[in-house]
Amino acid sequence: MTNDHATDTREESRNLRRTAVAGIIGSTVEYYDFTLYGLAAALVFGPLFFPGQDPATQVISSLLTFAVGYLGRPVGGLLFSHFGDRFGRKPMLVGTLILMGAATVAIGLLPTYGAIGVWAPILLGGCRVLQGMGAGAEYVGALVMMAESGDRRRYGLRVSLPGMGVFAGIVLATGVFAVIATLPEESLLTWGWRVPFLASVVTLAIGMWIRVGIRETEEFQRLATEKRTTRLPVWEAIRTQWREILIGFGLNGPYLAFSSLTQVYLLSYLTGPLGLPAGIGLTANLVSSALAIGTVPLFGWLGDRLGRGRVWLFGSGVFVLFGVAVFGLLATGDPIVIMGVMVVGISLGLASMYAVQGAILTALFEPQHRLTGVVLVREPTAALVAGPAPAFAAWLVLAAGGATWPVGALYILSALVAAGSLFALRGRSAHAASAAVGAAS
């Protein structure tokens, strides 16, 4: 009996480790794909797919195709999460990874405007929508897999681990694109930009190999055994937990605004209005995201020790300061100053909020509709906020005659909404508030 128990314990530990690796690898693939598209939209898609427009309009048009991908996220998220809540977390994770990776490789094979005219941006937008559909439930699935695996003692740290994959994907995509960007312009615009998209097939294969070997979560197996799965998880989540969904909007929307503005818009601002070499922004993004791979689990651990609410408020405070000072600091044109700004924004601000967000959101929802509940929070806000934010910021600056204060105000307003939503959550039931924002007991 003792030997059987020891064997089961070892097997559970092995599966937990594999599940953690699967979550990190899957998130790496997802954010490699999405970051790669954002970088290409900011730096090369304008002349390739919208050649008849002036440079400023090219940037806005290419950033709008970045936004289009977020429209596919709610559709894909709800579709895949429905089956994940009904039939299991594992098959949903495999399906999303395949769709997302295939769409990214297809982008690398697309003909440009010079070859097929207006069909080029249309096909680009279509691939971006498919990419978004796969991403719509992939990261949520990884969060839920980690939330439903292991004990509660290190819940926050464990659920933060897919966030490491997020920043690893950003580092990988930025590093690859930074190397490609050193090519002569003619080579970059003919074949060089395609290489990072086609290389996604390698990360896809690794992710598939890892994910096929993981087990279904024990919590979902109990739901299935007890026949407590629901036929319509989306309706059940909306009917019983609509207040938590609304609070989740207020938590997730501001974070996504911070992410898109900092990692996409500021890059185009550095190379556009400021006229700085693309390598400065790419290097700053690369170093900041590399540091965030380490700070995400650190902030996840601090959330368990000090309370996830305190870590969330710290991140919100960072972006209040960011909104006040960021454009003045970037205007110096000093690469060291720019590096420092991005380190604060990404490896402290974004990393701290990202580290605790997954634990906060997964704790809000009952297991029979947990995937769907988190998707209902994340993906509509992604479509409405994260996708349009870079293009909206570019339009604000254009409308203000080149003044950047409206974007700084947007940072501050988003931070206030994020902090206010946390306090609204604390006003809910003691159980929900304790699970979502309290320190581990």
The per-residue pLDDT for range 125-181, each reduced to its tens digit, is: 888 888 888 877 788 888 888 888 766 677 888 888 888 888 888 888 878 887 888
* Contact (CB, 8 A) for 162 and 143: yes
Number of H helices and E strands in the chain, helices first, is 21, 0
Instruction: Say what the pLDDT of residue 434 is.
Output: 54
Closest to 421 (Cα-Cα) out of 307, 316, 350, 349 = 316
Query: Quick one: 52 exposed, middle or buried, by C-beta within 10 A (0-12, 13-18, 19+)?
Result: exposed
Per-residue CA distances from 250 to 324, 375, 434 (Å): 22, 14, 18
Closest to 103 (Cα-Cα) out of 76, 81, 128 = 128
- What is the rounded CA–CA span in Å between residue 299 and residue 420? 21
What are the extents of the domains in the chain?
8-437
Stretch 248-267: mean pLDDT: 90
Interaxial angle between packed helices 155-180 and 278-306, expressed in degrees from 0 to 180 and rounded to the nearest 10: 170
- Is residue 116 over pLDDT 70? yes
Stretch 64-86: mean pLDDT: 81
Q: What is the DSSP letter of 367?
A: G
Per-residue CA distances from 362 to 156, 248, 377, 430 (Å): 10, 10, 10, 16
| Angle made by CA atoms 106, 386, 415, in degrees to the nearest 5 | 155
May I ask the CATH architecture of the domain 8-437?
Up-down Bundle (1.20)
Q: Which phi and psi angles does 44 have, rounded to 5°?
A: -130, -20
Q: Which phi and psi angles does 88 have, rounded to 5°?
A: 135, 150
- The model's pTM is 0.81
- What value does the mean pLDDT of the chain take? 84
Between 221 and 150, name the one with better pLDDT: 221
- What is the rounded CA–CA span in Å between residue 419 and residue 130? 33
Contact partners, residue 389, CB within 8 Å, separation at least 6: 256, 257, 260, 261, 264, 265
